DNA sequence: TTAATATTTAAGCAACTACTTAAATAACGA
DNA sequence: TCGTTATTTAAGTAGTTGCTTAAATATTAA
């Protein structure tokens, strides 16, 4: 922290510029990072992917499809809902979850890339 | 788990289809989720953003810009490197980090959206 | 060689995650 | 009403994360 880089080539101006730039985007970064960290979980990414394919699904469906307990699914859905990425609608005793289109924009391209049948494997 | 949804309206065929579909994309999902979870940390997203702006930066620069200790930065860079999102090049005693273009594709659109000066705040 | 700089690594730790099982809540039909 | 189904909530827990400080490594220059 703080006691600044003393490197010969440290470009003080560049660093100052970056600090200002980063301050400007910090609010958006926080928002985006939140969405990415929600989508960065394999189970939740699968849920988002499935919702983008099927439009709406209930916890029970997701439990069957992903072969996980209902409470586990429910807790993931809760996080997605609180993060604004999905919304829910109760019909009888069934709760249908669906994507919140405006807030899913950030990861739209990601989901889109998954639609192309898992080609182009990345080395990660 | 398992003991399948008994809902009246459970669409057994839909669920079966989804299971097959999800099995197909699971490898890509895992890869993408890994990249997203790396980018889903505010500090690392800032690092990626800065690298996309400045092409290359050293831990010392990043420490100055983000006002964090060098070890903290170094540990984030290590994760990004191990995840294949950045690469490093040593010049003298300085190590320059830069983006790995092919592996950063997943989050390119995300970074691009940040370039437009933090407008369009998402409710999240 | 010695001292200084740049970076990484290691160990410790508080906070968070993602599951588990059990219990609570809500809607439905007999 | 009672029993069943769908979902959520709660409590417990193992594993992970992101920092801290201290020490190790590597490069440079006097």
Across the interface, whether the CB atoms of B37 and A34 are under 8 A apart is answered no
Architecture of domain B12-114: Orthogonal Bundle (1.10)
User: Which ipTM did the prediction report?
Assistant: 0.90
| pLDDT (tens digit per residue) in A86-113 | 999 999 999 999 999 999 999 999 999 9
Nucleic acid strand C within 7 Å of A10 CB: yes
Across the interface, whether the CB atoms of B122 and A29 are under 8 A apart is answered no
**What is the Cα Rg of chain A in Å?**
20
Packing angle of the helix pair B12-39, A42-54 (nearest 10 deg): 130
* CATH tag, A14-111: 1.10.10.10
Q: How far is CA A83 from CA A86, B3, B42, B107, in A?
A: 8, 30, 15, 19
Partners of B88 in beta bridges? B97
Q: What is the DSSP string of A54-82?
A: HS-B-HHHHHHHHT--HHHHHHHHHHHHH
| Dist. CA A51–CA A95, nearest whole Å | 13
Taking all residues of chain A, what is their mean pLDDT, rounded to a whole number?
89
Q: Which of residues 61-100 of A touch strand D (CB under 7 A)?
A: 61, 63, 70-71, 74-75, 77-78, 88, 93-95
- One digit per residue, pLDDT tens: chain A, 124 residues? 434 556 655 678 899 999 999 999 999 999 999 999 999 999 999 999 999 999 999 999 999 999 999 999 999 999 999 999 999 999 999 999 999 999 999 999 999 999 875 444 444 4
In sequence order, the 6+-apart residues with CB closer than 8 A to the CB of A8 are none
CA B75 / C1′ D8 distance in Å: 38
Of the candidates A5, A18, A37, which has its C-beta nearest B40's C-beta? A37
Question: Do A117 and B25 contact (CB within 8 A), yes or no?
Answer: yes
Residue ranges per structural domain of chain B? 12-114
């Amino acid at each position: 922290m703080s006691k600044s880089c003393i490197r010969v080539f440290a470009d003080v101006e560049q660093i100052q510029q970056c600090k200002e730039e980063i301050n400007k985007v910090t609010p958006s970064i926080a928002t985006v990072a939140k969405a990415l960290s929600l989508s960065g979980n394999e189970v939740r990414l699968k849920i988002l992917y499935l919702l983008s394919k099927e439009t709406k699904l209930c916890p029970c469906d997701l439990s069957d499809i992903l072969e996980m307990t209902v409470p586990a699914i429910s807790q993931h859905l809760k996080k997605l809902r609180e993060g604004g990425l999905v919304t829910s609608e109760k019909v009888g005793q069934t709760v249908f979850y669906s994507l919140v289109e405006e807030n899913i924009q950030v990861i739209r391209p990601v989901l889109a890339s998954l639609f192309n049948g898992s080609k182009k494997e990345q080395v990660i």
